[in-house]
Every structure is written in C-alpha cells, then in structure tokens.
Homo-oligomer: A and B are copies of this chain.
Amino acid sequence: MAKIFLALKLLFLPGKKCNKKLIKLLGYCPRKQAIYDLAFIHSSASLLSPDKSVINNERLEFLGDAVLDAVVAEYLFSNYPNKDEGFLSMMRSKIVKRKHLNLLAIKIGIDKFIVANALNNSGSKHVSGNAFEALIGAIYLDKGYKKAKKFIIHKVLNTQINLEELENTETDFKSRIIEWAQKNRSEISFENQEEYSASDHSALFVSRIMVENQLMGSGKGSSKKEAEQNAAEQVYNSISSH
C-alpha cells in the first residue's frame, strides 16, 4: 500500500521544493521534481503503479541513452572535422561504454541519489551509469534538448574527458587483431556461442578466435561483445609479446 502511494506521488503530484543537492548537481531547480526522483529508482527498488506496470528508471534510461549518443555524436563531429565516421563512432563507444559511464557517474556524484535495493541487486554492475543516463532523460523531458546537451558538455565532456588520452586508449582489441591478421594475410574467424538454458533467462556467451583454423584465444562474458573482447584481448597480448 505504501509503495502504491509513493508511486502515485511520484507520478502525479507536483514537484516538491527544490532539493539543494540536486540543484548543486544540475545547476538549476527542476520544474518537474518527480521525473528526477524516478531517474534515481533502480530496477531493484521498482515500484508498482495502480495499473500494475513497473516503475523504475529504465524507460528514462532508454531515452537518456539516445540523447547522450546524439550529444556526444555532435561533440565529436565538431571536434574532429577531418575524421571519418568510423573514428567518430569508435570514440563515442569509448565515451559511452558502461564501465566508463559508471566511473563518470560516480565522479559527478550521481551514485548518492540512487535508490536501490541491495537484496534484489546481486547481478547489476552498472547502477550508476544507468542512473546517469536516466538523469539525462529526465533533464531532457523537464527542460529540453538544449539543457540536456549543456549538462552533458559541462559536467562530462569538457571536464571529465580527455579526448587525446581517449584516442590512445586501446579498448577495441577485436579490430586490432583483425588488422593484424589481414596484414599477415591470415584468415581469422570468430566463433561465438550464445546459450540460453531452459531454466535461466540470462544468456552465457563464449567466444573463440581462430587464425588459419588454429584456436588462438577464448573468452566468456554476459554479452557477445564482452566475450569477444576478452578473447581478443588474450590474442592481442600474446601477439604483442612476440
């Protein structure tokens, strides 16, 4: 009952007075406080609305993720007038990847606002990064695209990101070893397996890398990308040490 009441309050009541800590984070007083409250509700602390739909920050995260991608795309587009879209896309994926977003979110203090339930939250590693995206979604809905863009540029891109350093950070081991194989005129193939057990709904990913039909490395992960990068990092390290 208390949960339903809180859910109703979050959804339908006008905003509370300005939260000082939130003003410090955002740089302004929210118009619609309830959207920001929602942005900080992790799925482990989900509420139920009267119509039985689940209330947490995942819808806002979906929206914020897209807005973040667009803002970062424009930022890179104008910062690198002579680089092609492959480079821009690679730089963006370095900026917005979950591990990186988690660190950024904690640096700017978003983790302190999050409502999560430790008991329900054994599996999720990306609580802060997800809330960060949800917050961007909230800013967008409350104040529009320009304000969301300003927040991302001031709070993150101009202050927390060193583009030069990022250019030189190797995160894409897969591309590196494909380049290496093609330079050496070797055939390279990635064999990925994605298993869904009958009981458990999450998938397990396994990746194997073959060069000229010889197994060169393997990796596991909770996504295809993670498994593949783990396998590729192994191969990368072994060819770099020769």
Spell out A's residues near B (CB within 8 Å).
49, 51, 53-54, 58-59, 61-63, 65-67, 69-70, 72-74, 77, 82, 84-85, 88-89, 140-141, 145-146, 149, 178, 181-182, 185-199, 201, 224
Contacts and interface: CB of A to CB of B under 8 A. Distances in A.
A84 B43 CA distance: 11
B66 A73 contact: yes
9 contacts: A54-B84, A66-B66, A69-B70, A145-B145, A182-B198, A185-B198, A187-B197, A192-B192, A224-B224
B190 A194 contact: yes
A59 B88 CA distance: 8
B191 A193 contact: yes
Q: What number of copies of this chain does the assembly contain?
A: 2
Nearest to A181: B196
Contacts of A188: 195-196
A104 to B, nearest CB: 19
Contact of A195 (B49, B69, B189): B189
A56 to B, nearest CB: 9
Given A146-B145, A190-B194, A193-B191, A84 B66 contact: no
A65 B92 CA distance: 13
Contacts of A82: 49, 51, 53
A88 B61 CA distance: 11
